[in-house]
Structures are given as C-alpha cells and as structure tokens.
Amino acid sequence: EADIYQTPRYLVIGTGKKITLECSQTMGHDKMYWYQQDPGMELHLIHYSYGVNSTEKGDLSSESTVSRIRTEHFPLTLESARPSHTSQYLCASSRGGGTEAFFGQGTRLTVV
Amino acid sequence: SQQGEEDPQALSIQEGENATMNCSYKTSINNLQWYRQNSGRGLVHLILIRSNEREKHSGRLRVTLDTSKKSSSLLITASRAADTASYFCATDPDSARQLTFGSGTQLTVLP
C-alpha cells in the first residue's frame, strides 16, 4: 500500500468555483507529479516538481496551478472550474533517479 | 506527445491463457516501467527494467526490453480474471526529469 493520499476522492462542483485538489505523501520523495486522465484514456502529465519550491508544467497545457512549499504536499488549484476540466486527476511521487512512481487513488472531478 | 505507445489497445483472452502487450518508445531511456490500473483507480507499479537489462521476471510477469528497436513487451502467464485491468508502460528518459506514460492496453480476462 503506497503512502500517498489524494482528497477528495470525488468532487462535483459548479462552473466558476475555485477548487484545490490535495495530494500528500509520507515517503519523503522529492519528485511529485500530477496527471490528468479521461476514462479509459492515456495519462497526460500536467505538472511536476523535483523538490520544494520547484515546479514545472508538463506536456499537456493546463489552466491549473501547483505549489510545493513542503516536501510531502503538492496541491493543485483551479481558480475557475469549467466543464472542460471534468476528468480524473492522479497524483504520484517517486524517489527520483529512475525509481518507481507511487500513485494516489485519484480525484474524479465533475464540473457542472 | 506521449513517449510510449502500447499495442494492442485492447486484448481479450480466456482465463489460463497468456497475455502479451507491447510498448514502443521514441528516445533513449534510463529504464522502462510497467504499471497496472484497475478501473477508476490509481496506477500500481509492476516491474522496472533498466536499459542494460534484456529480460526480467516477477512471478507470472515477464518483461523484455530491446533498446535497439526501442520496444518492450509484458507477458502475463496463466492469466486470471483478476488480471483484468489497463496496463501502461512508462519511460524514464535520460534527458528529462519526468516519467512519461504510454496510451495503455486494456486487458480483459474472461472466466
């Protein structure tokens, strides 16, 4: 069982709301990632971080933002949610140096 | 664009049969990893093979890597209904910091 947690597990919100998806890991990993995945589809990297105060945008353009103030915490924020943001968001972490990634259970976001 | 591409996109087999999935990638890598995802859940790491390895085993899993062809295969022997899931390959390119995933193979094992 991986020590990486995402909350909430499911979220239904109205258009225009600001939301923050939480991701925490207790493994002391430096690298953390956010992926977006539509049902049955591939994963798209939207943000990653390789340490505190270091964040980068991924391959897929996203209107979300992230922060990495503490090693264990990597929240993702949408300032104004839209129906096009409806998707599953997966957080992951790894020790780095080509090691395996550990995933949270995901947050399924629906914007109505 | 995605680094890895799995083939086939979907595979349906009977319990007890072997399942083979392939992954092709584009750039040089440090290692290649395979993950499993049950419907609506996060991914779980299965096996990692380094660029200087050609074959690796873990239980009923066998992974091969051919760096000259930039391809890998995952073989699941004696499949079970519980193996039904999506399987993804992921590469750790030596020129980048992030892990990138392929498009996945949806495996269905019929009881």
Closest CA to B93 of B7, B1, B21: B1
Interface residue A106 vs chain B (CB under 8 A): yes
Chain A residues lying within 8 Å of B50, measured CB to CB: 98
Lowest mean pLDDT among A60-64, A72-76, B65-69: A60-64
Q: How large a percentage of chain B has pLDDT more than 90?
A: 70
The tokens for A51 are: 């340490």
Chain A residues lying within 8 Å of B33, measured CB to CB: 100-101
- pLDDT, one tens digit per residue, over B22-57 is 999 988 888 999 999 998 889 999 999 999 999 999
Query: How many whole angstroms separate alpha carbon A18 and alpha carbon B29?
Result: 38
Contact A100 B104 (CB under 8 A): no
Give the one of A35, A50, A101 whose C-beta lies nearest to B97's C-beta.
Answer: A50
